[in-house]
């Protein structure tokens, strides 16, 4: 199932960093740090709690792959990993996406309205 108005259902295949049978890694267009990307299910689904076991395992494998590639490319000190579930934060994209945000020594991370933070 896809949604014709959803940017994650209609991403450009050339933008995909990696992909498997159930998900993809995409660069985050509003990056909070160098290498920030998102892991999405290919099926249009809003909640982490609505994905299947196969999708969950697939997304976790992609998350690990993203971490490994980011370590090789950018050598971050660590990662901030998270996602919103539900409409409490006013999420504008109603497609599950897991952020992996590389963290770097002496670089502050400023979370924005996507995380319920006022900037």
Total-model pTM: 0.87
Number of domains within the chain? 1
Indicate whether 52 belongs to any domain.
yes
Q: How many CA atoms lie within 13 A of 104 on its CB side?
A: 11
Query: What CATH number should be reported for the domain holding residue 53?
Result: 3.30.428.10
Tell me whether residue 1 is in a domain. no
Residue 6 lies in a domain: no
Q: Is residue 8 a contact partner of residue 94, using CB atoms and an 8 Å limit?
A: no
pLDDT single digits (tens) 58-117: 999 999 999 999 999 999 999 999 988 877 655 567 899 999 999 999 888 776 666 555
Tell me the residue ranges of DSSP E strands in the chain: 18-19, 23-27, 37-41, 78-82, 98-103
Q: Which helix (H) or strand (E) holds 65?
A: helix 53-74
């Amino acid at each position: 199932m896809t949604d014709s108005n959803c940017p994650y259902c209609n991403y450009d295949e050339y933008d995909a960093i990696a992909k498997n049978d159930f998900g993809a890694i995409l660069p985050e267009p509003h990056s909070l740090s160098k290498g920030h990307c998102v892991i999405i299910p290919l099926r249009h689904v809003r909640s982490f709690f609505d994905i299947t076991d196969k999708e969950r395992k697939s997304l976790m494998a992609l998350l690990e792959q993203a971490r490994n590639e980011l370590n090789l490319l950018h050598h971050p000190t660590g990662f901030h990993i998270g996602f919103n579930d539900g409409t409490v934060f006013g999420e504008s994209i109603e497609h599950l996406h897991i952020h992996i945000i590389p963290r770097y020594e002496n670089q502050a991370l400023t979370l924005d309205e996507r995380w319920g933070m006022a900037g």
